[in-house]
Amino acid sequence: MTEFRILHLTDLHLFRDPEATLKGIPTRLTLQDVVDTVLQCESEFDYVIVTGDHTHDECPESYEAVRQILKPWLGRLAIVPGNHDDRDVMRTILGDVIAQQNPGDIPGDDRITFTLDCGPWLLAGLDTHAPGQVPGQFGGAQAAWLNERLAVHGNRPCVLFCHHPAVDVGSDWMDAIGLTDRNELVDVVRNHPAVQLICCGHVHHEFNGQIGRTRVVTTPSTGLQFAPGGTQAKFADDPPGYRVIELCDNQLETYVVRLSHAEHTPVCD
């Protein structure tokens, strides 16, 4: 029996211009389609977690649009930045959300993290944003913070959330813009077997991997989809999607749901 349900959204890529498109995909419309589908088809979620790339242009107006579209869940929303994010603008527009998600205090670091209790489970959000860069950076200070948080929570089962996956996903071009210091995170996870799942974005398609006994998954974007594999970026005409995580006692189920069809087709430049 499911006790807790988590909705994972990622890579929204909204623009200030409501009609702007990313490679032909009107990201504001597709995010709204995803939200409408979830509200119509899913039962309630305890938390809604967004793992970055909230916007494509990092403008305040774009974050306002994110806020407006995710309004049904603002009281149970938790967020971490991706490479297409600006921490200062996030704090300005979504400061109340960040305040409610128990952001970690990492000395000398302005990362936006979270820790949330979900019954016996701990949910922890990690910030892999590296200003001005596409690849992610985990950082030694954040590793120390996570180690300490996981130690405090002992054997409680845990799910981590972050933008950049700490494993290769089988795409040469994508793996080149992954987490540069992934070993920092891998070491923490290997030392804490209670971490059952790491949920990531960034790759804009579903992927399933492993760090030891810990599952690593990525979730489709709410907008533009990438094709898995390959040596260079290729867009896919798959529908937008989201991920559901169901927690019960010490057990976890997770699966991706895509919209029934793609309203829009990506275009190459």
Selection from 52, 196, 195, 207 nearest residue 127 by Cα: 52
CB of 75 to Fe ion, least distance (A): 26
CB of 91 to Fe ion, least distance (A): 20
Residue 240: how many other CB atoms lie within 10 Å: 27
CB of 82 to Fe ion, least distance (A): 6
Which residues contact residue 143 at a Cβ distance below 8 angstroms, ignoring those fewer than 6 apart?
184, 185, 187, 188
DSSP 19: T
Amino acid letter, residue 156: R
> Please, are residues 197 and 254 in contact by the beta-carbon 8 Å criterion?
yes
Given the complex with Fe ion, which of 53 and 184 has the nearer CB atom? Answer: 53
CB of 204 to Fe ion, least distance (A): 6
Angle, CA of 104, 106 and 107, to the nearest 5°: 150
Given the complex with Fe ion, which of 157 and 220 has the nearer CB atom? Answer: 220
> Please, are residues 40 and 154 in contact by the beta-carbon 8 Å criterion?
no
CB of 103 to Fe ion, least distance (A): 22
Given the complex with Fe ion, which of 54 and 76 has the nearer CB atom? Answer: 54
CB of 111 to Fe ion, least distance (A): 18
- 233, exposed or middle or buried, with CB in 10 Å at 0-12, 13-18, 19+? middle
Given the complex with Fe ion, which of 11 and 58 has the nearer CB atom? Answer: 11
**Strands 114-118 and 158-162, bridge-based pairing:** unpaired
Given the complex with Fe ion, which of 11 and 206 has the nearer CB atom? Answer: 11
Given the complex with Fe ion, which of 69 and 122 has the nearer CB atom? Answer: 69
Given the complex with Fe ion, which of 35 and 122 has the nearer CB atom? Answer: 35
Q: How far is CA 46 from CA 74, 138, 220, in A?
A: 12, 27, 21
d(CA 107, CA 27) in angstroms, rounded, equals: 36
Q: Is the dihedral of CA 210, 101, 81, 182 positive or negative?
A: negative
Interaction site with Fe ion (CB under 5 A): 11, 53
CB of 133 to Fe ion, least distance (A): 14
- 210, exposed or middle or buried, with CB in 10 Å at 0-12, 13-18, 19+? exposed
